[in-house]
Every structure is written in structure tokens, then in C-alpha cells.
Amino acid sequence: MKINTNRLPKTIEAALNAQMTKEAHASQIYLSYGSWADSEGFGGVANFLFRHAQEERNHMMKVLEYILKRGGKVEVDAIPAPPADPTGMQDCFEKVFAHEVDNTNAVYSLVKLSFDEQDWATWNFMQWFVKEQTEEETLALDLLDKLKIAGGDKASSESLYDLDRDLSTAPDDATAAQDVTADKP
Ligand SMILES: [Fe+2]
Ligand SMILES: [Fe+2]
């Protein structure tokens, strides 16, 4: 008899493969929005979004490696096309936020599924993504905050110029609340 070396329940294996494709899709969305931003003249925003596309690619790779290390079968699937170009910077940042929330919901579903299946290894693995999604939602909210201060939909060219320059060097990660101290709020 050949023993079963796949440590992933079938439901979890399928959900992880779907999450892998979702992270790849997120990467394509950031590539697409970044290209749009650059075409509109916002090289700094494009740089920020392109860097983030690479982060999403890293997330995809983490899920892929996890499936393999648990003896599961990786299914590299077709990546859905990104949505239409944003209509402006406000629309772009709102959509970035909405995509992140959508991904958070997928992560939460996997946490719930791993709990229901009592697959504690996957439950533990997914905690990294729970924290990462909290940070990414913060990052997207920061974009909306910056644009709001710049004037939102009515932002002047001058303030958009400053915002664009700011984002070209903006850090890739937001600080998680649990990593804050009184000295470093
Ligand atoms: Fe991600
Ligand atoms: Fe993300």
C-alpha cells in the first residue's frame, strides 16, 4: 500500500490553489493600474503600484510553496484579465482599496475553512496573510487620505504633482497596529 503524503484536505487544496490565482490576479491589477497612471503622467504613482504588483507576486509564491511543502498538487490556472482603467486618481485609489478588501475576504474564508477542517497548519500559515491584509488595507487607506488632503477629485495639478513625487519613494509596507509603541506611534 502506498501511503498518502498529501497533508492538505481536498477542500483546502482547492481553496489554496484559488488563492494563488487570486494573488496573481491582484498582481495583474496593480500592473494594469500602474500602466494607466504612467500614461496619465503619474510616474510616481506608477512606481508605487508596480512595486506593489511585485508584492502580490510574492504572496502568490508563498501560497504555491506552501501547497508543495504540504505534499499538495499545485494547479497553475489562467489569470483573469484586470478590470477597465480607472477614470481618475480618486477612482484608482478607491478601486485599489476595494480589491484589497475583496482579497481580505478570500483570506478570511480560508481561515474559516481551515478551522472547520481542523487543518491547524493551514490555519497557522494563513495568519501571516491576515496580518498582511490588515497592512495592505491600511496602505490603501493611506493613499485615499493623501489624495483627500491634496483635494480629492478637485485636486490641483500642483498638489497632484507633490502627491506623485511623494509616492515614488513611499514605503511598501504600512506599520501594523500591534507593532506600534508609545515611542514610535
Ligand atoms: Fe496579496
Ligand atoms: Fe494586496
pLDDT in tens, the chain (185 residues): 799 999 999 999 999 999 999 999 999 999 999 999 999 999 999 999 999 999 999 999 999 999 999 999 999 999 999 999 999 999 999 999 999 999 999 999 999 999 999 999 999 999 999 999 999 999 999 999 999 999 998 999 999 999 999 999 999 989 999 999 999 99
User: Does the pTM exceed 0.85?
Assistant: yes
Helices 89-116 and 43-69 sit at what angle, rounded to 10 degrees? Answer: 10
Cα–Cα distances in angstroms (integers) from residue 124 to residues 5, 15, 100, 121, 127, in the given order: 20, 15, 21, 5, 5
Q: How far apart are CA 95 and CA 85, in angstroms?
A: 10
* Model pLDDT, residue 1: 76
Contact 143, 96 (CB under 8 A): yes
Neighbours of ion ligand 2 (CB under 5 A): 136
The ligand whose atoms approach the alpha carbon of 129 most closely is 1
The ligand whose atoms approach the alpha carbon of 97 most closely is 2
The ligand whose atoms approach the alpha carbon of 173 most closely is 2
From ligand 1's centre to the CA of 2, what distance in Å? 37
From ligand 2's centre to the CA of 111, what distance in Å? 17
From ligand 1's centre to the CA of 175, what distance in Å? 16
* Model pLDDT, residue 34: 98
From ligand 2's centre to the CA of 136, what distance in Å? 6
* Model pLDDT, residue 15: 98
The ligand whose atoms approach the alpha carbon of 29 most closely is 2
* Model pLDDT, residue 117: 98
